[in-house]
Structure 1
Amino acid sequence: MGAGQEENIVPMSTNWSEIRERLHDLREEHRDLDDAIEQLQLNPATDQLKLRRMKKRKLRLRDQITYWESKLIPDLDA
């Protein structure tokens, strides 16, 4: 299991409202990060390493959002 994946494990006792709340928080962080990246890109003197790290964080957030969204969708093959 890779770094950060253990936080994506859904226990059987997980409340669906907790998943929705987690999704809301992740989406909000993703949106805030997107705004911050956009502002940094307007400045030509921006630290490119910082910008790359922020973009990677944004991608990790998108992956987590996709994961948690999949937990809310019922398994139609079951």
Structure 2
Amino acid sequence: MDKTYNESEETPAQLRERLETLRMEHRDLDDAIQRMVEHPPYDQLKMQRLKKRKLTLKDRISDIEDRLIPDIIA
């Protein structure tokens, strides 16, 4: 039987590695969006897709950060 991917089985080291990869992709999208804005006219649909992908990455980054940093009630 094939083992399915399960984020909860990742080690902290694997999570940190994936976090860095997602952060790099997020920065790359930010750069691509900025280049498009600086050189109009640009494809609105492509811009929307890039922004949506960037928001999805931000959510995934936040989820991983939450898993790596325990909640400490002060």
TM-score category (smaller protein): 0.7 to 0.9
User: Aligned letter for 2:26?
Assistant: H
What SS does the aligned partner of 1:10 have? helix
- Runs of 4+ in structure 1 over 2 Å off: none
Cα distance in 2, alignment partners of residues 34 and 50 from structure 1: 13
Counterpart position of 1:18:
14
User: Residues 28-60 of structure 1, C-alpha deviation per residue, up to 9 Å, x if partnerless?
Assistant: 000000000000011221001000100000000
Cα distance in 2, alignment partners of residues 8 and 48 from structure 1: 35
Aligned length: 69
Structure 1 unaligned segments of length 5 or more: list them.
Answer: 1-6
> In percent, how many aligned pairs have the same letter?
51
Cα distance in 2, alignment partners of residues 36 and 26 from structure 1: 15
Counterpart position of 2:56:
60
Across the aligned residues of Structure 1 and Structure 2, the Cα RMSD in angstroms comes to 1.7
Structure 2 unaligned segments of length 5 or more: list them.
Answer: none
Counterpart position of 2:42:
46
Cα distance in 2, alignment partners of residues 47 and 60 from structure 1: 20
What TM-score, normalized to structure 1?
0.80
